Structure 1
Amino acid sequence: MNAMYRIVGGLILLALLAGTGVASADTLTVIEPRPDAPSLQLEDLDGHAHTLRDYRGRVVVVNFWATWCPPCRDELPSLQRLWEGLGPDGLVVLGVNVGEDADRIFFFTADYPVDFPLLLDRAASAIDTWPVRGIPTTFVIDPEGRIAYRAIGAREFDHPGITSRLRELQKGQASGASPTE
């Protein structure tokens, strides 16, 4: 129940922020110092288990969303384009659906098709362990498993300003260097 109160409160906050123009299509909030990402162990629509540990050494975008959330629906196509553009270079995109069942998400994807894994947080337990402030909230995890960026509210994830930051992290993935600001 706590998660649902946080989600509703976050949606109210997002509506207020959207009205003031605070959330920009090309912004990600830098998280310093970079905390370790909380664990994540969920099944996808096909019943396959995914853990964040599975993707260690790669840049991972973790997006918390729901089918009933209009900003989530708005940004989902850009996450798909991001995955299509940077996925071949090793970027991972994980969509964590909060509180809904596989059937609802399956029917939803008829109108909003995606090829990256959609994970089921049916009991909203994962959202309680992550610093989510409403949905959509997206985290970028660096190759060492730390949170590098957070975006509260919808973004155009294939925007050049965001993709360049993700490419910088991917370069660091290959060389061990951290991205510069």
Structure 2
Amino acid sequence: MASKSKKKKRLVIRTVVLLLLVSAVVYTIAFKDKVDVLAVGDMAPDFELTDLDGNKHRLSDYKGEGVFLNFWGTWCGPCKREMPFMESQYKAFEKKGVHILAVNIKGSDLKVEAFRDNYKLTFPIAIDKTESVKEVYNIIPLPTTFLINKEGRIEQIITREMSEDEIKSHMESIQPD
């Protein structure tokens, strides 16, 4: 008889624990802070990251100029293919008020520096070590590029690899007057 009561007691405890777990999951899903999805026309959220050379970059520091904000990873094939095109256009547009800021997602300094050196990249590359900027910008696929105009508004969001002609055209579209 004692065995049946122990089994019943265990069943009740397990049921209560399961209900608590299910309740916690439902609560987390239902009441989790919702992240606003950025859209064309929105102000680009400001952030501050440090590049590989130790320079701080705030998006707000680029006000009055265009920003080609590119999120990428060292392991990402499409990112690797578009980087030489970005470098070429960076050199062409740097003096025209259009800047590239490349944000690597959580790579190690060593890997990102090796990548930069291998591709001979000269534009600023910062590492989002905590993924805080990635979360604010709702980055899912890599590469993702935000074209930000001189007022700091998002002109376009590109969530795929681009050709050199596309990169050039996009940089022209955010070039200040």
- Taking structure 2 as the reference length, the TM-score comes to 0.73
Matched, 1:87 2:94: yes
Matched, 1:140 2:155: no
The aligned residue for residue 22 of structure 2 is none
Q: Is the 8 A contact 2:86 2:167 kept in 1?
A: no
2:50 match: secondary structure: strand
- Length, aligned pairs only: 139
After superposition, the C-alpha distances for 1:4-52 in whole angstroms (9 at most, x for unaligned) are xxxxxxxxxxxxxxxxxxxxxxxxxxx64x0000112100002211000
Query: Gaps (5+ residues) in structure 1?
Result: 1-30, 175-181
Q: Return the alpha-carbon distance in structure 1 between the equivalents of residues 128 and 95 of structure 2.
A: 27
Query: Gaps (5+ residues) in structure 2?
Result: 1-38
Matched, 1:49 2:56: yes
Structure 1 position 107, deviation (Å): 1.4
Structure 1 position 102, deviation (Å): 1.5
Q: 1:135–1:165: structure 2 CA closer, same or farther, 3 Å change rule?
A: closer
1:62 match: secondary structure: strand
Of all paired residues, the percent bearing the same amino acid is: 32
The aligned residue for residue 166 of structure 1 is 171
- From the two aligned structures, give the one with the greater helix fraction: 2
Matched, 1:154 2:173: no
Q: Which runs of 4+ in 1 moved over 3 A?
A: none
Q: 1:127–1:112: structure 2 CA closer, same or farther, 3 Å change rule?
A: same
1:92 match: secondary structure: strand
2:104 match: secondary structure: strand
Structure 1 position 86, deviation (Å): 1.2
Specify the code of the residue in structure 1 equivalent to 2:112. Answer: I
- Taking structure 1 as the reference length, the TM-score comes to 0.72
The aligned residue for residue 104 of structure 1 is 111
Q: Is the 8 A contact 2:72 2:104 kept in 1?
A: yes
Q: 1:166–1:98: structure 2 CA closer, same or farther, 3 Å change rule?
A: same
Greater C-alpha Rg: 2
Structure 1 position 151, deviation (Å): 0.8
Q: 1:107–1:143: structure 2 CA closer, same or farther, 3 Å change rule?
A: same
Matched, 1:38 2:54: no
Specify the code of the residue in structure 2 equivalent to 1:167. Answer: E
